């Protein structure tokens, strides 16, 4: 017993402590638990906001953390997306890419839309995105030939990403190939390149214009 009025054993020695120290530790413990509860509540709120936005975008649309920049910092958004994916509320398509899968009554969840995935990745990375001439012609119905590979042109470094059983190729391209990138006009220019001047008829030109009006 000493001037504090209390002694506590510690490694064979008697270590004094005061009731004031105990009360301080209790207050610190309560404050710590309060902060933990606040963080948990805040994370739940963020997770719900992320889920509601993902559902609002609609099935089949690909999403990246950038789509939720205004809801919280990147680390918190990443945790919310990961938590939702583990819970089966959204689907993780690739690293940093998610969607709310579109469900078929017989087939179940459908494969991700490569166009939506490519746009999401390009937006996340800050790339300009353009379909290849062959893909553009097929998209506008000017060609029935489906490209063997899913290829997009970008102004960044070439890369490829596996999405389910598909591989999306991103190939670096110059300014001329990216003219009008991200717009219906850019898709039309690529489709015209696929046809070539010798096969560009008034009919195909009119069909292209009709498709552009539908998309615009």
DSSP one-letter string for 185-205: HHHHHHHHHHH-GGG--HHHH
- Res 206: pLDDT: 56
The label of the residue with tokens 């003219």 reads 179
The Cα 11–Cα 183 span in angstroms is 74
The Cα 90–Cα 207 span in angstroms is 37
**Segment 54-101, tens digit of pLDDT:** 989 888 889 999 999 999 889 999 999 999 999 999 999 988 999 988
Out of 1.10.10.10, 3.40.50.720, 1.10.3470.10, 1.20.120.10, select the CATH number for domain 38-126.
1.10.10.10
- Res 3: pLDDT: 47
**Comma-separated ranges of CATH 1.10.10.10 domains in the chain:** 38-126
The Cα 194–Cα 46 span in angstroms is 46
- Res 146: pLDDT: 87
Q: For the chain, how many residues are written?
A: 216
Is 127 within 8 Å of 170 (Cβ atoms)?
yes
The label of the residue with tokens 């920049």 reads 69
pTM: 0.68
Q: At 107, is the pLDDT very low, low, confident or very high (cuts 50, 70, 90)?
A: confident
Nearest by Cα to 50 from 71, 28, 66, 20: 71
The Cα 67–Cα 96 span in angstroms is 11
């Amino acid at each position: 017993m000493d001037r504090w009025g209390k002694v506590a054993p510690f490694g064979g020695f008697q270590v004094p402590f005061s009731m004031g120290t105990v009360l301080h530790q209790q207050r610190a413990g309560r404050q710590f638990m309060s902060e933990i509860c606040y963080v948990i509540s805040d994370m739940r709120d963020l997770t719900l906001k992320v889920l509601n936005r993902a559902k609002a975008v609609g099935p089949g649309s690909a999403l990246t953390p950038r789509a939720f920049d205004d809801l919280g910092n990147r680390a918190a958004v990443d945790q919310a997306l990961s938590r939702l994916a583990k819970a089966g509320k959204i689907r993780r398509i690739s690293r940093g890419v998610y969607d709310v899968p579109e469900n078929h009554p017989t087939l179940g969840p459908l494969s991700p839309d490569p166009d939506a995935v490519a746009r999401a990745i390009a937006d996340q990375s800050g790339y300009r995105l353009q379909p290849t001439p062959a893909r553009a012609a097929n998209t506008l119905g000017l060609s029935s030939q489906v490209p063997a590979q899913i290829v997009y042109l970008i102004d960044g470094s070439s890369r490829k990403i596996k999405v389910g059983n598909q591989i999306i190729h991103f190939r670096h391209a110059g300014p001329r190939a990216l003219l009008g990138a991200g717009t219906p006009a850019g898709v039309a220019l690529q489709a015209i390149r696929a046809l070539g001047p010798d096969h560009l008829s008034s009919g195909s030109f009119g069909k292209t214009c009709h498709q552009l009006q539908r998309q615009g």
